[in-house]
A and B are shown apart, each in its own frame.
Chain A
């Protein structure tokens, strides 16, 4: 495969291949009267990601069953991740008062399942890289230490073309620099460190109710509670305003490493709601050392209850997704 094609793939994938991003280039300036139109544009961009074909162009026509299965899985995961990234990244930039808008909240609620799939799918994909994949990754980076940055440079160029906001592109640049720098030192170590940390934190801070309480305590505001319906189940929990239980016991990372989806320890399945999205609330923030910042944002958006959620999800998907994107594209670039 031509390297340029690989870059294009990355760009197309990251941006959803839509060109709709131009409409979303400056979410922070969206006024109240423009919000519905803005959300329609966002839906359009999300739909174009769903309808895109990212892998077919770049894979051989005659695929082995194993490669075909892998490509199918990869494409599905890529779409979920990109949709999640686009949604979270874009909504995160909206003025805080718009986060309480029903249309925004509805889109977030409906996407929670996809968020989970993206999050854990990405982590799982990192873990499942075979020793051969990892060796080839190391070899490729040794041969051309700038390969990761070349991939991301192409992505950034396309981002500029599509009118992605400067804030998002600056963030992409910062994350890319960090990820590529670490990746260049040791892909194995970075992947192991990241996935290990993910499991450890997910196991320790998995409860939605715990996340709610932590946010409420930090915010110290009645706003969060005001946003809950009387039965306390607005965001999927069913514990209402009961006092918080004792913190869950610490979990040894070795116990959870390698398991597909570590179960939160402080909530029974039936009380966790339909999906495990809540794990992200604290996982993302703690894994990235962003708890304080996310609480700050949570304060700003307390009335919607989604402040912490948006920030941590965006951050963690940003890093994991980026890591997978870079690794995947590097492997594609070297003909894997």
Chain B
């Protein structure tokens, strides 16, 4: 059985290199990076002053979350408009257009789903709006979710990508973690550390036959994607690269590609001491050591949640010109680095049929995508029935201190540095797994994933971070608290404590986040061969800023194995964002959905 190929029909971007693809390609081709001294906010108290900032007038002097959000929305709208226009997407069927926006912004941005809704409104999109937040892997993850929505008939066009803004808190957090480079970042080369950046990028995805019918431009085929969790550490990748390797294998499997088919890898390549060697080990393990590997962060800096899609867009631009991008500023190779990092100052002529782009993130989330120059029919796994094998719900009790429940289920769990969200989420998941009668070990851990829906990162951690800034100054902001400000921090903890190393994502749509996580998990599990179970969970923590909201966590275990105690998950749906006075007719694929 063949799955419908997914075409990339449009792209748009704003990043440190410029606004719009024409400006960006001019810089890429000339070998000029977009890294310079940050002028938007003061970096006087820090040891480094460089960033990859978007050269957009009117964005100087941001100092509060509201303005940061406005800029983030602005970037996203600019990139989205360009992508939709380039793809010639008709404007009159907005309910069949979905937006999947990846961003690493957590508490810095207020309600992430509200920002996404603003972007959708500005772009006239009225289909499903989903915000993916798996830190630096967000936009790559978003591309995969967009692909799944198309595969499952939930939309006809998906605008998928990401947006992020560099603000003082994020700069301070990375500085506190000791991850920033004094000079321009030099992935895989001597000179450790990364340079932060910002921007937004979007791809327009469509089912290839329909895109062809309407005469849409064809840029490439999004032939596969993969997700995985390290389950190792809040910020450091698993040193052997096992987590990244799982994402790469999963991508190849999804795309129906062999290792030898891959002609180029655009690596996450942050330039840090922990990331680059682990990533190279993973690439070597899965693809061998002869494949050309470069990191576009040497051009753009690290655009955080938007990094993945921006790097893929740069790869696509280079592919269009029969080239691959170099790793700029490369001087002397590190001991554990690519054999061919494309160490030169201009793009290299190279025609490839398939390429991979990979990203790794805080919380141990990994994501990778495969693109192909031509329409690539994909092998389809037979659709599998989905069952619910375990459930749990948790409302924090006054009688029992937080963490006691978790300790009962996982006696070795150390809850001292965990925020309430992480404790509640881990407890609920542990209870659900217990309810399902599961004790994970060995390969079962790698075939069990975690999809989480939530509204905000932990307010307690945000307050802790702010208190550290107030008391010690921004240059001494709390590094541990900073690592918990990404939306997927709690799921990273749960993955680590419970050994869930399969596909993972964290998303938000506001109040319906948990249900949407269940739907996306069902879509994923139904059609993919790289997981047998997905734990779905939702969590929210009491927020003094939103006193009317409660708190708690809940979890389901979805499985492909049935027994006498499982319940069949028969139908699901993803609702459009708004309701028109006249319901649009359901597409044939929507038959299963009933809410």
Contacts and interface: CB of A to CB of B under 8 A. Distances in A.
Interface of A: 142-146, 149-150, 152-153, 156-157, 160, 166-167, 169-170, 173-174, 176-178, 180-181, 292-293, 296
A293 B59 CA distance: 12
Given A145-B581, A293-B58, A173 B121 contact: no
A145 B580 contact: yes
A144 B582 contact: yes
Contacts of A170: 81-82, 85
A146 B84 contact: no
B81 A174 contact: yes
B88 to A, nearest CB: 6
A146 B93 contact: yes
9 contacts: A153-B91, A156-B91, A166-B82, A166-B85, A166-B86, A169-B85, A177-B123, A180-B124, A296-B57
Contacts of B580: 145-146
A177 B124 contact: yes
B546 interface: no
A149 B81 contact: no
B90 interface: yes
Contacts of B123: 177
Given A169-B85, A180-B124, A150 B92 contact: yes
B122 A293 contact: no
B94 interface: yes
Given A144-B582, A145-B582, A177-B91, A293 B82 contact: no
Nearest to A144: B582
Nearest to B578: A145
A169 B122 CA distance: 16
A114 B379 CA distance: 61
A152 B91 contact: yes
Q: Is the interface of B mostly helix, strand, loop or mixed?
A: loop
Contacts of B81: 170, 173-174
Interface in B96-130: 121-124
Given A170-B81, A181-B124, A142 B581 contact: yes
Given A145-B582, A146-B94, A157 B88 contact: yes
Given A181-B121, A181-B124, A173 B90 contact: no
Q: Is the interface of A mostly helix, strand, loop or mixed?
A: helix
B201 to A, nearest CB: 15
A283 to B, nearest CB: 21
Nearest to A184: B580
Given A153-B90, A177-B123, 16 more contacts: A144-B582, A145-B580, A146-B94, A149-B92, A152-B91, A156-B91, A157-B88, A160-B88, A166-B82, A166-B85, A176-B124, A177-B91, A177-B122, A292-B58, A293-B58, A296-B57
A145 B90 CA distance: 15
Interface in B43-90: 57-58, 77, 81-82, 84-86, 88, 90
Contacts of A180: 124
A146 B92 contact: yes
A180 B92 CA distance: 11
Nearest to B86: A166
Contacts of B88: 156-157, 160
A176 B121 contact: no
Looking at A149, A167, A180, the one whose CB has the most chain B CB atoms below 10 A away is A149
Looking at A170, A178, A293, the one whose CB has the most chain B CB atoms below 10 A away is A170
B91 A173 contact: yes
Interface in B553-584: 580-582
Contacts of B582: 143-145
Interface string B183-206: 000000000000000000000000
A156 B81 CA distance: 13
B94 A149 contact: yes
A152 B124 CA distance: 12
A173 B84 contact: yes
Nearest to A142: B581
Looking at B58, B88, B91, the one whose CB has the most chain A CB atoms below 10 A away is B91
Contact of A173 (B57, B85, B93): B85
Contacts of B85: 156, 166, 169-170, 173
Nearest to B580: A145
A142 to B, nearest CB: 6
Contacts of A177: 91, 122-124
In the A-B complex, the 6 residue pairs with the smallest Cβ-Cβ separation, listed nearest first, are: A177-B124, A150-B92, A153-B91, A153-B92, A170-B85, A149-B91
Contacts of A181: 121, 124
A329 B94 CA distance: 20
Nearest to A177: B124
A166 B82 CA distance: 8
Nearest to A178: B122
Looking at A145, A167, A180, the one whose CB has the most chain B CB atoms below 10 A away is A145
A157 B89 CA distance: 9
Nearest to B584: A146
Contacts of B57: 293, 296
Contacts of B92: 146, 149-150, 152-153
Contacts of A173: 81, 84-85, 91
